[in-house]
Structure 1
Amino acid sequence: MSKNQYLIKRYWNRFRYLFFQYFRTGFIRSNSVDIRDSILIVTSLLSISSLVNIFLIDRHILDDMIRHKVVAIRFCFIILPLVTYLILRKRLVIINRNFGNYLSGLLLILLFLHVPLIQFDPGNHFYYLIGSSVILLACSIILWMEPMRIGLVSLAYIFILIPLITNISTEFGISSQVVNQNVLNSLFLTFIGFVANTMINYWRFEDFRSNERLKRTLKNLKITNDKIRILSHQDSLTSLYNRRFLLESFPIRVEEAKRDAYNFGLIILDLDYLKKINDKYGHIQGDRVILQFSEIFLKNINKTDIAARIGGDEFCLITGKITRSELAVLSEKIRTEIENYPMKVYNNESTHKFTASIGAILVDPNKVKNFDVLYHSIDEALYKAKMEVRNKVVFLDKDFL
């Protein structure tokens, strides 16, 4: 691409960005309240100005029939925007981008209603010509319409409506100099409205894009934070929680148990003779054993249970609501499954039977002090038991609370 082609493309994109943007579905949904409010504001302004004209200006028209026709047209300035507002108030999201067609049609009708007004009341031709351009200016600034739509309406106003009004004014003997001066004023107001609409919509689109980028950034940040939170709470080797998450969850479980008046279980599990695998085959094979054991551990817990690897070959389980007999059955079931499971080591060429020593206690939430007291009580009792015989479940009494 040559330099000239690049510049042409660059300036064309900027031109298109300024004048040929249109309201997309997401843009309309996020600004639906403001769009409805803008229509209501225009309706209110037109209603007030129409009522003022009826009581202050139109009353001076001597011909009753003409005055009634003018008043009827004035009420059209009130009814048409009101009907449009009522339609778009509930159906804006359904109509979607077509709402711009409603507003464009409304604006064109409001502008062309000035033609019969000048025919019925040519003495106020200046007032009606400037009034139409003021309506176009106000709608360009207040209504949510794209620059392209405002530009098309402005062109129709300049090349169709203004010539019609000037011809009518000339037919009624109004000076061409006065007419031309009024036309220049109307063109100036129309130009100001188009420029203002372009600038306002530019910042509307910029604000929308900034908000969308911010939403995407916050969404990505939330995903990243969730991943970090999971990593900070998860053991790097197994899919179990780590000691940090266990310590954070224990007081929460105690408070839940107090609130719902139930006891929960705490199990400490220690694999027997894992050091022999580490010494014989290396720590990688020892990690494989720990990984296989964690899978057994996960198969025997409920969704409300918290299973964690405290460190090395030591694991912990905080159960949900449970009785002493159920805790004993659960502890024995885990011990039996570990004992009967052939752990694969050394590239699946060799299997070994492992055992585990388990310490368990039923926790009364109203008596428990903290996790460290429970843990050290169970760990000490488990250590004494392992000096005598391994592969057993040691159930502590409530004296250890």
Structure 2
Amino acid sequence: MPGTVETPDGVRDLDPDFFRFVLGHYPSGVVAITGRDAQGAPVGMVATSFTSVSLDPPLVAFLPMRTSSTWAALQETEAFCANVLTADQEQVSRQLAVKGGDKFNGIGWRPGPTGSPVLDDAVAWVDCTISAVHDAGDHVIVVGAVQDLRVENPASPLLSFQGGYGTVASPALAASGLPDQPEVVEHFRLVDRLRPLMLEASRRLGVEVVATALLDTEVVALATSGHPEPGRLPTRVGQRMPYQPPLGAAFAAWSDPERWVAQLPPGQRDHARGLAQRVRDRGWSATLGGPDSLALERALYRLPVDAPAPEELEAVGRLLDPLDETYEPRRFAVKDRIPLRTVAVPVLGSVGAVRLVLTAYGLPQFSTHDDFVRYRDTLLNVARAIGPGSMSA
């Protein structure tokens, strides 16, 4: 058998190099484990074994070699910080992986809650105290009790794969972990049919294409393809936003707009009805970038994918102005600098109800009218290719 040797007692031993070769075909994230030694100096190492362990209580783990001097230092101070490295931090990983020397030379950092270094520009960090240590062959399993954690830089993470470095390059992602209900299952069946068309649309347009569904009182991103303009936050699969005016007009336009409108004070309801009717008449939705667009995008990105609390959704709602004229503008002037933020179209069912909404997101800061027509018509063609309903352009 390849990768094994016969021992005198007839037991086959796995060859360590072959074991490493096979397991190297399973990609893993690259995490910088940082801490302090007994004198307070920063110490660090690289781990590709970092994993979540428990939600309640929040626990994580990594698996250092028994002989690691960094692990010996961390064990003395009983704390560590796991820094998720970005695809651009390959050099940081190489520097922290070497033995000896000043590993932190030229690497920016600040103390986290436990005092362990939080590295500049990392995707995220998880600061922990050591909760338990378990023997595991030539390694140990270090369980950390999470004290605090943050997403700092939502960029593509660095991966370890086949003995080298790589990054996430998946062109299309679909959400998981949503309720296993007939309605949700039907949404995903449609998403599975849409994903190749979404991928082609995002390649053609050079932007991110997102498929969203209305699930009760929330609009949820079920699938994404492509990448947004640099500097824009990507959409997380499973990301949610409140179904609250002016958000979600494309769903309100082909369903019961009064359910959507009723969330507003009486004096604002006619404006919201007008938004929904405008989208219905046009067959598409569009929003412009405004001074508060980035703040709203960041607030939506921070919402937990798994059932955000009502107060978290309310915090997003406070950033919404139902009378904001950047939502569903009455007309688009034919000019070279349109601050388009999104363009969206519905995927309609056989009875004319909206099943999903396709959105071109992460557009350049300014677009031309021809760009707008290209975004709109490309999405309409995808929607028509999959849905029995017809839409006017």
User: What TM-score, normalized to structure 1?
Assistant: 0.19
Q: Greater strand share, 1 or 2?
A: 2
Q: Which has the larger radius of gyration?
A: 1
